[in-house]
């Protein structure tokens, strides 16, 4: 999918400090991040007329309070929810269709609630719905389910953990260059292979870091974007997956890229080789090689060979991956961090993390089979 009538750009980025404990109320940090994004762009908050707020817990976010706190006076569009590149696409559609001119997309992270838990009735000990076939056997958490996917993937393509280990290792190198990252000590291959086993083959260093904080980006129309502070970063194309089966692994049998990938390349009129920077969702490290192959960035089964040693995927390498450290080392932002870092790189603002060639970035959000992907470019 692409916007039909005009180009839409990301023009402002805002961050609060990512912390291990929540230090301020959610609405306060959301407002802080949004104001910073507006200021970064050089747009007065009163001009902004659209907002998307995401939280992963119930109750839903206090969007009206946040909007008022930012100084939005005429809220014409509000749709909450979605993760990473997906709400960027939905916001772009709203701008393109004339429902609004500018949208703040803000993620609030709060570590109190884990991401998904077994829904056991505490009164009866019983589990209903599809979980009744899993939780009685001790399968109830994402970190276990990804282990099932990861072992099958590595077995199918004869990939070793020692190869895929270079993803968390290199991402940790990147985090050490990122002032926003929570992880600040280096990781060697020995460190990785000695890290605690969670659900074999998943280790501690395969899991992302829970953090608290708020992170925002501002999007607007091309004509307005050109008047603001930074080089516009355009959302060229994006798509959500049509696959909905909860634990879908069927796509692993595809030889080439998934239909999702073909759609975004077609809409952007670009190919995998044009993607300079790869922002692959890394809620678990194993998603990264799966996404790389799903998006046709490397041939099926070749991700292990490509990342081994780290040279190809470092910030100075052929195709840097997650130059901010990703969720593994910057912190779990549900894909928001990937978008923000891609924007900074494409602006040429990534400082010591700056990649050599940064005109186009591909971004994926959440699970490799059911997630979304999009392409950002300076053109």
Which residues sit at the interface with other proteins, rule CB under 8 A?
57-58, 112-114, 117-128, 130, 132-141, 143-144, 147-149, 151-152, 155, 196-202, 245, 247, 250
Least Å distance between CB 216 and other proteins? 26
Calculate the alpha carbon distances from 236 to 29, 232, 252, 288, 295 in Å: 30, 12, 27, 22, 16
Least Å distance between CB 138 and other proteins? 4
Q: Give the residue with the Cβ less far from other proteins, 185 or 250.
A: 250
Least Å distance between CB 285 and other proteins? 15
Instruction: Look at residue 128 and give its three-state secondary structure.
Output: coil
Least Å distance between CB 209 and other proteins? 15
Q: What is the rounded distance in angstroms from the CA atom of residue 10 to the CA atom of residue 104?
A: 10
**120 DSSP 8-state letter:** B
Q: Give the residue with the Cβ less far from other proteins, 199 or 294.
A: 199
User: H-helix or E-strand containing 96?
Assistant: helix 85-96
Q: Give the residue with the Cβ less far from other proteins, 122 or 179.
A: 122
Q: Give the residue with the Cβ less far from other proteins, 149 or 313.
A: 149
Q: What is the rounded distance in angstroms from the CA atom of residue 167 to the CA atom of residue 364?
A: 16
Q: Give the residue with the Cβ less far from other proteins, 23 or 200.
A: 200
Around 268, how many Cα atoms within 13 Å sit in the side-chain half-sphere? Answer: 28
From its phi and psi, is residue 327 left (phi > 0), alpha (psi between -120 and 50) or beta?
A: alpha
Least Å distance between CB 77 and other proteins? 30
Q: Give the residue with the Cβ less far from other proteins, 134 or 267.
A: 134
Residues in CB range of 190: below 8 A, 6 or more apart: none
Least Å distance between CB 202 and other proteins? 7
Calculate the alpha carbon distances from 26 to 22, 49, 109 in Å: 8, 21, 8
């Amino acid at each position: 999918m692409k916007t039909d009538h005009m180009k839409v750009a990301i023009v402002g980025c805002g961050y609060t400090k990512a912390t291990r404990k929540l230090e301020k109320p959610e609405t306060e940090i959301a407002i802080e991040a949004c104001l910073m994004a507006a200021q970064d762009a050089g747009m007065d908050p009163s001009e902004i007329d659209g907002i998307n707020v995401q939280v992963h817990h119930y109750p839903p976010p206090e969007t009206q309070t946040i909007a008022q706190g930012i100084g939005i006076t005429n809220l014409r569009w509000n749709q909450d929810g979605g993760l990473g590149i997906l709400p960027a696409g939905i916001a772009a559609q709203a701008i393109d269709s004339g429902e609004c001119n500018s949208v703040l997309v803000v993620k609030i992270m709060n570590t109190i609630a884990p991401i998904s838990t077994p829904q056991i009735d505490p009164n009866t000990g019983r589990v209903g719905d599809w979980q009744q076939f899993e939780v009685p056997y001790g399968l109830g958490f994402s970190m276990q389910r990804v282990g099932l996917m990861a072992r099958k993937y590595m077995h199918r393509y004869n990939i070793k953990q020692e190869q895929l280990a270079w993803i968390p290792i290199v991402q940790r190198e990147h985090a050490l260059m990122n002032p926003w990252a929570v992880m600040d000590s280096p990781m060697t291959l020995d460190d990785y292979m000695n890290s605690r086993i969670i659900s074999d083959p998943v280790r501690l260093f395969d899991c992302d870091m829970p953090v608290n904080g708020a992170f925002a980006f501002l999007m607007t129309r091309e004509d307005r974007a050109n008047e603001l502070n930074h080089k516009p970063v355009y959302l060229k194309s994006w798509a959500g997956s049509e696959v909905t089966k909860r634990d879908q692994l069927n796509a692993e049998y595809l030889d080439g890229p998934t239909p999702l990938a073909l759609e975004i390349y077609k809409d952007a009129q670009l190919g995998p080789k044009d993607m300079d920077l790869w922002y692959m969702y890394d809620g678990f490290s194993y998603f990264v090689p799966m996404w790389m192959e799903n998006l046709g960035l490397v041939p099926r089964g070749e991700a292990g060979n490509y990342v081994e040693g780290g040279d190809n995927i470092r910030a100075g390498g052929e195709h840097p991956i997650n130059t901010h450290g990703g969720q593994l080392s910057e912190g779990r932002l549900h894909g928001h961090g990937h978008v923000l870092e891609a924007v900074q790189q494409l602006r040429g603002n990534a400082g010591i993390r700056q990649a050599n060639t940064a005109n186009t970035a591909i971004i994926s959000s959440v699970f490799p089979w059911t997630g979304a992907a999009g392409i950002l470019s300076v053109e």
